[in-house]
Chains A and B, each alone.
Chain A
Amino acid sequence: MAEQFDAIVVGAGPSGNAAAYTLAKAGLKVLQIERGEYPGSKNVQGAILYAQALEQIIPDFRDDAPLERHIIEQRMWMLDEASFVGTHYRSDDYNKPPYNRYTIIRAQFDKWFSSKVREAGALLICETTVEYLIMDGHRVRGVHCDRMGGDVFADVVILADGVNSTLARKAGFHGELSSKNVALAVKEILFLPEETIQARFNIKEDEGVVIELMGTVTEGMVGTGFLYTNKDSLTIGVGCMLGDFTSNPKKTTPYQLLEKLKRHPSVAPLIEGGEMKEYCAHLIPEGGFNAVPKIYGAGWMIVGDSGGFVNAAHREGSNLAMTTGRLAAETVIAAKAAGKPMNERTLAAYKDALDESFVMKDLKKYRRLPEALESSPQFFTTYPELVNRAAQTLFTVDGVDKMTKQRDVLGSFRSARSLRGLLGDAIKLWRATR
């Protein structure tokens, strides 16, 4: 006798956990199905936790969630081959609880989040893959899993199955993932003693620093790097659009980019002596607003990476994942309470909620950015070089008068990009981010 649930959540990552937890807490009968050996085994993230998103789900998460450091300083670096120009923001306000952002280690965090989901009453099974959705015409009735007797039914199936979701594709809800809309990122976790990290980054116990990097290190490909401080380790990574990797004539691999980044004279001293203990790679959906597929239908909804909910411009993904998971769950809870069927009309409330929230508002704001960047490699090559050289010219005291220096700098910009080009770039950037 196949079982019937109120909701089935496919995937135990941040969006799936957010959905399952919210549903279970409201007393609904929830089954969560994860294909990995344990929650988090298939998840990868730079590892920043955005507290606000989680607070909406588990208000007292700080009591027992495994958190590394709370972030008090953000550094943004523009690199060329041997130098960088950076902007830092550090504030002691960030030391006033409740803290706004934390670095986390995904393996531990997901395990904790999942334990909360089970405490809330959801049933979790792992090492089980949903092979396809059980449909009745257009309506999703349940899922079919790769185990004997693997049909399970529910009023609604929430797909939280990640960037490479095949279920929605198989069911025809959206098309193939395009290499234009996805980035391939690699990261390493390097172990260093707590005191060393604190000394190098000028932080105290529990305080953390985030460094976002971009520049010539990605060889003109659209991408960024990052360096985060965990308690006794550093996370360093870099990622570029998958299409760029394939069309790059140099055929540089992500690992090679990461090695290059690690050897950069401004980065190497920060990671020196670090013992590499963890290495992983993952795809990140970065198509933005225009790549978000249909996210609900009769008996189904999509949350998290599976729906492309990543704000690449701001490196935000897990907060969107958790928020979409929560909003989807809330839609279901409201529908159940009102005795409404889980059809397209009812579930449209999910999209409405998303549109009202920062999720779609932010994605909409940056919808033109992917294309703008794709067609402008100069942002990743020429400008970092110009900016760095300009800084060097202006900061080097060598007897040359300041007027000459100023003219040299302005001249270098003009000759590299021409006045028209400069103007065009500025307009492009403004258009893409307004």
Chain B
Amino acid sequence: MHIVVCIKQVPDSAQIRVHPVTNTIMRQGVPAIVNPYDLFALEEALRLKDRFGGRVTMLCMGPPQAEEALRKCISFGATDAILVTDRAFAGADTLATSYALAAAIRKIGQEQVVDLVFTGKQTIDGDTAQVGPGVAKRLGMNLLTYVSRIAEVDEDARRLKVERRAEGGVQVLDSTLPSLITMLEGTNEMRFASMDDMLRAARFPVRRWNKEDAGIEDVARIGLKGSPTVVSKVFGPTPRSVKADMQVVADSSVNDVTLNLLQKLFTAHPAIEEELVQRLSA
């Protein structure tokens, strides 16, 4: 079985710490990590490899430093890793990204037929969840999103059965190989790499593909040029025009402050007082 797992290296916006005194959030010097959702996809792929034998090939489109993320995946037991990196990919939105990844997967498929492609549910920096579906469409693979469990895989019959999270319940779907699965978070627990895995990963020659290596046929469809969405502006949130009615506990006692708040709140918003009275007497 040959499984391709797509990952992305993202800034670790989850490594948010709170200052012990001021309680402000600190985000400076945040490192880059493997998109956490992708790890569930990787673990699931590795479990299939454990069961059926075969290879897990990691694929990532990114800048040169994304090699670190691929190396980390090798340390968990992936067989091979390819970094698709080229200036021409810069500025890609999800459409251009899925075009590039699909081309690369086709190329990988030429070396050995790809049975399954795994991706994470979404990234923590883009949050769009669009690339997985995009790649599936382009490769003509069955799309199975938000998969919570892979119930059965029959390699010979080329069939699989999965459970998919939907609103209010779980769909049980029966499909064929090749399929593209986006894995739900919390569905498995990542294994702990052994010392040998770590050393192997440290030495691993991650393959680098530029756009030619990746089999990109139409350069107008990658990077900024291939991105239909355009960021027209970036801005900070607008502060409310009327500033908050502030009280400082240090100045007066906590009791005074809270009584003041209630008085102001209920005077200005009698409907809210009613609402709360209803709830408490219910």
Chain A residues engaging chain B, CB cutoff 8 angstroms: 3, 31, 37-38, 41, 105, 107-108, 123-125, 128, 145, 147-152, 189, 191, 255, 259, 276-279
Contacts and interface: CB of A to CB of B under 8 A. Distances in A.
Given A149-B196, A189-B28, A279 B20 contact: yes
A125 B71 CA distance: 10
B20 A255 contact: yes
Given A37-B31, A108-B29, A189-B28, A279 B198 contact: no
A279 B21 CA distance: 10
Given A255-B20, A255-B21, A149 B27 contact: no
Contact of A278 (B28, B75, B194, B203): B28
Contacts, number: 55
Contact of A123 (B19, B28, B202): B202
A147 B31 contact: no
A38 B31 CA distance: 8
Given A105-B29, A255-B20, A276-B26, A124 B202 contact: yes
A279 B17 contact: yes
A177 B27 CA distance: 32
B24 interface: yes
B29 A149 contact: no
B19 A125 contact: no
Interface of B: 17, 19-22, 24, 26-29, 31, 75, 192-196, 198-199, 201-203
Given A105-B29, A189-B28, A278-B29, A125 B199 contact: yes
A138 to B, nearest CB: 25
Nearest to A144: B195
A279 B19 contact: yes
Contacts of A151: 195
A150 B29 contact: no
Contact of A3 (B19, B75, B199): B199
Contacts of A189: 28
B29 A125 contact: no
13 contacts: A107-B31, A125-B75, A125-B202, A147-B195, A148-B192, A149-B196, A150-B195, A255-B20, A255-B21, A259-B21, A276-B22, A276-B24, A279-B26
Nearest to A188: B19
Nearest to B24: A276
Nearest to A115: B65
Contacts of B27: 277
A257 to B, nearest CB: 11
Given A125-B199, A279-B17, A148 B29 contact: no
A126 to B, nearest CB: 9
Contacts of B201: 125
Given A38-B31, A123-B202, A276-B24, 9 more contacts: A125-B75, A128-B195, A145-B195, A147-B198, A277-B27, A277-B28, A278-B29, A279-B17, A279-B26
Contact of A41 (B17, B31, B196): B31
Nearest to B202: A123
Nearest to A258: B21
A3 B200 CA distance: 12
A149 B26 CA distance: 37
A255 B23 CA distance: 13
Given A276-B24, A276-B26, A279-B19, A149 B31 contact: no
B173 to A, nearest CB: 36
Contacts of A37: 31
Contacts of A105: 29
Contacts of A279: 17, 19-20, 26
